[in-house]
Structure 1
Amino acid sequence: MQVTAKDKGTLVKWTREYEKVNEDVPDPHAYLEFAVNSTKDIEGHYLRA
C-alpha cells in the first residue's frame, strides 16, 4: 500500500502480487474485492469525520 498526500485529499495505491500454484487455481478476485471494500470503508470513515 502506498499513500500519497494530495492538495485536497489522499491518493492510496494498493499493490498485490500473486502467483498461482498451477493453472487450475482460480484467479484471486477475492483480493481485489477486499481491497475495494476496505478502501470504501476507510474513505467513508474519514468523510464522516
Structure 2
Amino acid sequence: MIILGVILLIVGFVTGLSILWTIGLILVLVGLVLWVLGAVGHAVGGRRHYW
C-alpha cells in the first residue's frame, strides 16, 4: 500500500494530475498508520501484523 501510494504520488507530480496526488497521499498515510499499529503489536482488524 505504501509503495503504490508513493508511485501514485510520483506519477501525479510528474503529470500534474491532482487526483493521483491525493489518492497517493491517502494510501501512503493509511499504509503508514497500519504499519505502525502492527509494529507496536496492536491488533488491526483482528490481526497482529499487517500483511
Query: How does the TM-score come out when normalised to structure 1?
Result: 0.49
The structure with more strand, counted as a fraction of residues: 1
Query: How does the TM-score come out when normalised to structure 2?
Result: 0.48
The structure with more helix, counted as a fraction of residues: 2
Highest RCO, 1 vs 2 (Cα 8 Å, sep ≥ 6) = 2
